[in-house]
Amino acid sequence: MIARLLTPHSLRTLLPAVSLAALLAAIFYLQPRTMSYFGLNLLLNLAVPIALATVAQMFILCVNDLDLSLGAFISLTACITATWLHDTPLLGALALAGCVLAYAGLGALIHLRNLPSIVVTLGMSFVWMGIAVLILPTPGGKAPDWIRSLMTLKPALIPFPIIALVVLGGIVQIALMRSAPGVVLRGAGGNPQSVARAGWSILRVKMIMFGLAGLFGVLAGMALVGLTTSADANIALRYTLLSIAGVILGGGEFTGGRISPIGAVIGAVTLALAGSFLSFLRLNPDWQIGAQGAILILVLALRVIINRTAAKS
Amino acid sequence: MTDRSAIVRLNGIGKSFGAVQALRDVTFHVAPGECVGLVGHNGAGKSTLMNILSGVLSPDTGELLFGDQDLAARYSVAAAKQNGLRCVYQELSLCPNLSVAENARITHPTIRGIGWRRKAATLITTWLDRIFPGHGIGPGDIVGELSIARRQMVEIARAFSATQTPVRLVILDEPTSSLDKASADQLLSFVGRFTETGGSVILISHMLGEILDSADRIVVMRDGGVVAEDATAAFDRARLVREMGSVLAEDAATPTAQARRQTDRVIVLPGENGIPLEVFKGEIVGLAGIGGQGQTDALLTLFAAANGTRNHAEITTEAAFVAGDRQTDGVFPGWSIRRNISIASIRQMVQHWLIDARKELGLAQDWQTRIGIRTEDLSNPILSLSGGNQQKVLFARALGSPAPVVLMDDPMRGVDIGTKQDVYAILKDEAAQGRSFVWYTTEMDELKHCDFVYVFRGGQVVSGLPRHQVTEANILRASFDAAAAA
Amino acid sequence: MSLLQKPWIWSWIGTLAVCLVIIGISGLGAGTQVLSAALSFGTFFVIVAIGQMFVVTLGPGNVDLSIPACMTLASTVAMKVMGGSSTMLLPGLLIAIAIGTIIGLLNFGLIRLLRIPPIIATLSSSFLFQSTAIWYNRGLRVKPPEPLADFATAKLAGVPLLAILVLVLTVIMHVILHHSLFGRAVLAVGQNSRAASLAGIKVERTRLLTYLTSAVLAAICGFFLAGFSGGAALNMGEEYLLMSIAVVVIGGTSVAGGFANLPGLWGASLFMFLLVTMLNTLGLSAGIRLILTGAIIVGVIAISGRRGRT
């Protein structure tokens, strides 16, 4: 059993979890007070929107595309949440549903015209940003109460962010990796031609995957506003790169439908914690961003070492 | 021809791609319980015909009859499946990121709901067991991590497996191209059993022996039409080759480098515990054995050594490489034929930091005539050529380079006989002028062109056979002997 | 191949169209002024886009995300070293180039040694470079030496001097792309890196040179941009990330790799600048401007499209 756990293959699968555990251990060591209900709550609540964003990016990567507009999109949905959804819930809900549909439409456009997703989403990032600026020209707005109370929920024993992250990872893992329809969605990333020949519509797959990305993008925006209580048009711009890094950190790859939902959530949490870790280190704040890069490089370097050992054996 | 019970009947099918008429007035049928062998050169129209039959392409003219119903107008992949038709394509169509069972699920939409994983696993394992006993493939294995032979097995097993609609006709397009001998035999014997129970198979293969052994009836295609159709008993190898339109050149057994195996050694690849692989100047050295026993790796090691990036092997000169897997290892899809030829010689064409366009064109034209690449204009994209001609471009690339050693990775896979004969002649010619060739091939016939043959097993050279000892029996013995002992 | 089939033609048609609109609104005189401004600003886009184009041409997944950080770091250090002194001009330029070289080497090292996808490698390294720039200069804006500012803003017969130099650079890079060993190697690797290696192309050396080119050009761009805009600032490279990619792709270079062209870079750079100017001229609000910019980028790609992935 132990020998089975130590094969390179399982090590590679476990690496994201192990790196997260190591990071957590380091944080607990530096700042034992985080090892409490409230400490964990504080430490992890910002990881929730990042994890949602990462899962959204994962859907896109799964069908061999890349979304460079995700951060702008989440900023937009955050702005809608903090304004329309708060003031006129029906209009807000419709607008958010429209956002999801727009993403599905984007998937259709990319597929039908065989366009490079990098560029289309690059262009769309301007569009999302523009709409966000129109809706909320200056930072402000207010989170709807129900989202606020959901995000600040204090369940007994286990802090809310942990529950949310586990549920998120679990649901997406089951839907994408264990369900029969999930196989088709992933297969379309691995060999679209053969999936099409087997009678499935790639157009529909792309629309579903982009639609799901839109849905989780909307959720990320809502969760973010629930935490920050207000929004601005630039609130989530850095999520674009964070989400890509999170998927890769979690063991996903850019092409071929090779993704791992649980890994993606773990990757997102790792990146979110990296920031806290550095502040506990009392590192010069100038190096905050730099150290995030360093952690990314470190984990990926570990993956390479494991892969090399795998290749040798 | 008289039985109205044919599973499918094509009448007067025509298909054009632009100015090229790929199929003209093809009439073809398959009866239940029949194995139809389909042969023809590359570009004869076999693949187009099969793509029409499986619903990937729609015909321009003609009827597509299932029973009395003409489905030509509303035929599709789905309609083909509904009528019990399955196809194993030449290029594999599995999703490498999914497991074996999950790939089965892709083609079986009815496997769903609770417990679908178990159902899919049982289905695919059952058929693998039935066709390739002892296959050693688990339903949870990720396809991308399987060897190419095992992937082919999964592909074939998946095509035969049935859930709701019974499988009535399976098209096998070069199914044995990546299988070793034992698995190929398993498959062909399964085809026999399948047809006995009323199923039908269309078998496309360049291995004429397979066709003659397994088919009940043979259809020969040439230039987009059916040129001969008869019971298998009416054919022999010579007639098949004649009908396909090429002349089987007698292999003149010219004694060549045998005596020279003492001096001018250009390659030594030490075997860890086996026999070193040596190549001498002007020699054609064959690498034999069951597919996937380390032959390609040996070639890659030699190539890397020639480029100075690895030093497991001693190689005194530069080396050029002829890929067998054109799409992944050979072709630059966006380039013209000319650029595809010149790339391996490009360093010799640089003058004052820039590439001399005239030299480049000269080289390409030279080899176009020498090896016979069929095109009007060398600046046409390489993808405008048929597969066989693309392979010729890859030969031209390697032979046109100044490298004194040419490494060939089973380059004749799926190439028609006419092209092969052309290339054999050029190889001999080049060898006579002092070039050395290391030639991995899965076709026994080709080893007869070699001066010396090394048989591989388990990643090692297990036997070295000089020309006069190169016989099918000797090679088979070396390929399998120790495996039986171990 | 007819003109309309050239991959770069769309960017020039777009440029022409936007130009006509601007002249239509503000008259010929103002139009000429705008065009001159477009040349000044577009020049900087072109410099980084050349490097980005070579990188993108290496094939799927190859994008240099460290361009903005590289521009910032190189120009920050160079400006501080020069400290406004004109005698230090050459050492300053050399330092910028040296920093570009180091960044290129580091990027390639990460990609090669760690086998990280280039997107992630350049992303994580850019975090490091950005931090270094912040730490080194604390966000202070150091003025460039006077001659540098003069040079970067100089005009020759109404045409920015820098634009002329970069035009020469473009021609040189065009020749390199299509008629040199390196260019041929980049195109081959971008189409099929395995086949390229088996055809005797030194794939890794090609990659190294490409990432070096990109970083060095970004550093040079940062250096002159600092001269042009009165100093190095920490956010000076920000818009160059999206812009460099957009310019490369609108210019007709395939993101699938293996196809590239240089005329399109100029077309796309001018187009992007003129587009923003046009929307400004129309007196539109920031939000609408952004939406239209995005919509036009997507529109151009969708119309000229069909060359996406293979």
B395 and B255 housed in the same domain:
no
Asked if B335's CB is within 8 angstroms of C198's CB, the reply is: no
Asked if A187's CB is within 8 angstroms of B102's CB, the reply is: yes
Q: Is C171 on the interface with B (CB under 8 A)?
A: no
Q: Strand pairing partners for B461? A: B456
φ/ψ of B22, rounded to 5, equals: -80, -35
pLDDT band of A1, cuts 50, 70, 90: very low
Q: Is residue B28 part of a domain?
A: yes
Mean pLDDT of chain C: 89
Alpha carbon distance A293, C121 (integer Å): 9
B162 and B310 housed in the same domain:
no
Is the per-residue pLDDT at A48 higher than 90? Answer: yes
Query: Which residue in chain A has the smallest CA separation from C241?
Result: A122
Asked if B343's CB is within 8 angstroms of C196's CB, the reply is: yes
Instruction: Using an 8 Å CB-CB cutoff, list chain C residues near B347.
Output: 181, 200
pLDDT tens series, chain B, 486 aa: 445 578 889 999 998 876 667 899 999 999 999 999 998 765 678 888 998 998 888 899 998 888 778 888 888 888 888 888 998 876 678 999 999 999 999 988 888 888 999 999 999 999 999 999 999 999 999 998 888 889 999 999 999 998 778 899 999 988 887 788 889 999 999 999 999 999 999 998 877 788 899 999 999 988 889 999 999 999 887 788 778 765 444 444 444 444 556 677 888 888 776 788 889 888 999 998 766 678 888 999 899 888 876 667 778 788 999 988 888 889 999 899 999 999 999 988 998 889 999 999 999 999 999 888 888 889 999 988 877 788 899 999 999 999 999 999 988 876 777 788 888 999 999 999 989 999 998 777 788 899 999 988 778 888 888 888 887 777 777 775 543 333
Alpha carbon distance B245, B418 (integer Å): 9
> CA-CA-CA-CA torsion for A182, A186, A191, A197, nearest 10 degrees?
20
What's the pLDDT at B74? 83
Alpha carbon distance A8, A15 (integer Å): 10
B105 and B169 housed in the same domain:
yes
Q: Is B371 on the interface with C (CB under 8 A)?
A: no
- Cβ proximity of A15 and A299 under 8 Å: yes
What's the pLDDT at B253? 45
Residue type, B318: E
Q: Is B56 on the interface with A (CB under 8 A)?
A: yes
**How many Cβ atoms are within 10 Å of B193's Cβ, its own excluded?**
11
B172 and B52 housed in the same domain:
yes
Looking at residue B75, the DSSP 8-state letter turns out to be -
- CA of A101: how far to CAs of A201, A211, A215, in Å? 18, 6, 9
pLDDT band of A3, cuts 50, 70, 90: low
Return the biggest CA–CA distance within chain C: 58
Domain ranges of chain A: 17-23+36-307
Query: Which residue in chain A has the smallest CA separation from C246?
Result: A119
Subunit partners of chain A (3 or more CB pairs within 8 A): B, C
B167 and B256 housed in the same domain:
no
CATH at B117: 3.40.50.300
Alpha carbon distance C258, B266 (integer Å): 35
Instruction: Using an 8 Å CB-CB cutoff, list chain B residues near A194.
Output: 93-95, 106
Q: Is B351 on the interface with C (CB under 8 A)?
A: no
Q: Is B96 on the interface with A (CB under 8 A)?
A: yes
B220 and B349 housed in the same domain:
no
Which strands make up the sheet holding B69-70, listed edge to edge? B20-30, B8-17, B61-66, B69-70
Rg (CA), chain A: 20
Alpha carbon distance A136, A212 (integer Å): 25
Percent of chain C with pLDDT over 70: 97
B160 and B135 housed in the same domain:
yes
Q: Is residue B463 part of a domain?
A: yes
Asked if B56's CB is within 8 angstroms of A195's CB, the reply is: no
Strands (E), B31-118: 35-39, 61-66, 69-70, 85-88
- Cβ proximity of A81 and A92 under 8 Å: yes
Structure tokens at C101: 């070289």
3-state secondary structure chain A: CHHHHCCHHHHHHHHHHHHHHHHHHHHHHHCHHHCCHHHHHHHHCCHHHHHHHHHHHHHHHHCCCCCCCHHHHHHHHHHHHHCHHHHCHHHHHHHHHHHHHHHHHHHHHHHHCCCCHHHHHHHHHHHHHHHHHHHCCCCECCCCHHHHHHHCCCCCCCCHHHHHHHHHHHHHHHHHHHCHHHHHHHHHHHCHHHHHHCCCCHHHHHHHHHHHHHHHHHHHHHHHHHHHCCECCCCCCCHHHHHHHHHHHCCCCCCCCCCCHHHHHHHHHHHHHHHHHHHHCCCCHHHHHHHHHHHHHHHHHHHHHHHHHHHHC
Task: Write the residue in C175, C180, C188 that is nearest to B332 by C-beta.
Answer: C188
Of B359, B374, B401, the domain-final residue: B401
Chain segment A224-283, per-residue pLDDT in tens: 999 999 999 989 988 988 898 899 888 888 788 899 999 999 999 998 888 788 778 877
CATH T-level topology, domain C3-304? ABC transporter involved in vitamin B12 uptake, BtuC (1.10.3470)
Asked if C310's CB is within 8 angstroms of B353's CB, the reply is: no
B158 and B276 housed in the same domain:
no
> CA-CA-CA-CA torsion for C31, C32, C35, C36, nearest 10 degrees?
-140
Q: What is the mean pLDDT of residues C66-83?
A: 93
Q: Is A123 on the interface with C (CB under 8 A)?
A: yes
Looking at the domain that runs over A17-23+36-307, which CATH code has it been given? 1.10.3470
Most A CBs within 10 A among C57, C70, C291, C304, hence the mutation to make, goes to C291
Chain segment C20-43, per-residue pLDDT in tens: 988 888 888 888 888 888 999 999
Q: Which residues contact B192 (CB under 8 A, 6 or more apart)?
A: B35, B214
**Collapsing DSSP states into helix, strand and coil, what is residue B396?**
helix
Structure tokens at B458: 């388990």
Is the per-residue pLDDT at C307 higher than 50? Answer: no
Looking at residue C11, the DSSP 8-state letter turns out to be H
Measured in angstroms, the CA of C299 and the nearest CA of chain A are apart by 9
Q: Residue window 103-122, chain A: list those with CB within 8 Å of chain C.
A: 109, 113-116, 118-120, 122
Beta carbon pairs, A and B, within 8 Å: 60
What's the pLDDT at B463? 86
pLDDT band of A183, cuts 50, 70, 90: very high
The residue segments making up the domain with residue B385 are: 334-401
Q: What is the mean pLDDT of residues C276-281?
A: 86
Q: Is A197 on the interface with B (CB under 8 A)?
A: yes
Measured in angstroms, the CA of B76 and the nearest CA of chain A are apart by 9
- Cβ proximity of C307 and C253 under 8 Å: no
Measured in angstroms, the CA of C251 and the nearest CA of chain A are apart by 12
Q: Strand pairing partners for A296? A: none
Query: Which residue in chain A has the smallest CA separation from C120?
Result: A245
Strands B265-269, B277-280: pairing kind = antiparallel
Task: Write the residue in B93, B111, B116 that is nearest to A193 by C-beta.
Answer: B93
Asked if C120's CB is within 8 angstroms of A296's CB, the reply is: yes
Q: Is residue B2 part of a domain?
A: no
Chain segment B353-371, per-residue pLDDT in tens: 899 999 999 999 999 998 8
Alpha carbon distance B64, B52 (integer Å): 9
Domain ranges of chain C: 3-304
Alpha helices in B114-147 (DSSP H): 116-131
Q: Which residues contact C176 (CB under 8 A, 6 or more apart)?
A: C182, C183
What's the pLDDT at B90? 67
Tally the domains of chain B: 3
Structure tokens at C104: 């290129």
Of the candidates A104, A142, A97, A106, the one whose C-alpha atom is nearest the C-alpha of residue A124 is A106
B294 and B270 housed in the same domain:
yes
Q: Is B266 on the interface with C (CB under 8 A)?
A: no
Question: Which sign, positive or negative, has the C-alpha torsion C19, C24, C26, C30?
Answer: positive
Question: Global pTM?
Answer: 0.79
Measured in angstroms, the CA of C151 and the nearest CA of chain A are apart by 33
- Cβ proximity of C53 and C248 under 8 Å: yes
B150 and B296 housed in the same domain:
no
Q: Which residue has the tokens 């090609």?
A: C206
Percent of chain A with pLDDT over 70: 96
Alpha carbon distance A191, C125 (integer Å): 32
- Cβ proximity of A160 and A151 under 8 Å: yes
Measured in angstroms, the CA of C107 and the nearest CA of chain B are apart by 22
Q: Is A310 on the interface with C (CB under 8 A)?
A: no
Task: Write the residue in B81, B96, B106 that is nearest to A184 by C-beta.
Answer: B106
Q: Which residues contact A39 (CB under 8 A, 6 or more apart)?
A: A31, A33
Q: Residue window 115-134, chain B: list those with CB within 8 Å of chain A.
A: 116-117
Q: Is residue B1 part of a domain?
A: no
**How many Cβ atoms are within 10 Å of C209's Cβ, its own excluded?**
17
Could you tell me if residue A7 is left (phi over 0), alpha (psi between -120 and 50 degrees) or otherwise beta?
beta
Query: Which residue in chain A has the smallest CA separation from C124?
Result: A293
Most A CBs within 10 A among C114, C234, C238, C280, hence the mutation to make, goes to C114
Asked if B94's CB is within 8 angstroms of A180's CB, the reply is: no
Query: Which residue in chain B has the smallest CA separation from A198?
Result: B107
Is the per-residue pLDDT at C226 higher than 70? Answer: yes
Q: Is residue B326 part of a domain?
A: no
Asked if A301's CB is within 8 angstroms of C249's CB, the reply is: no
Q: Is residue B460 part of a domain?
A: yes
Asked if A291's CB is within 8 angstroms of C246's CB, the reply is: no
Q: What is the mean pLDDT of residues A50-73?
A: 95
Instruction: Using an 8 Å CB-CB cutoff, list chain A residues near B103.
Output: 187
Q: Is A252 on the interface with B (CB under 8 A)?
A: no
Alpha carbon distance B288, B298 (integer Å): 12
Between C61 and A147, name the one with better pLDDT: A147
Task: Write the residue in B320, B339, B354 that is nearest to C200 by C-beta.
Answer: B320
Residue type, B289: G
Instruction: Using an 8 Å CB-CB cutoff, list chain B residues near C191.
Output: 332-335
Instruction: Using an 8 Å CB-CB cutoff, list chain B residues near A61.
Output: none
Residue type, C19: C
Q: Is residue B261 part of a domain?
A: yes
Q: Is A258 on the interface with B (CB under 8 A)?
A: yes
Instruction: Using an 8 Å CB-CB cutoff, list chain C residues near A245.
Output: 120, 123-124
Of the candidates C123, C219, B306, C84, the one whose C-alpha atom is nearest the C-alpha of residue A68 is C123
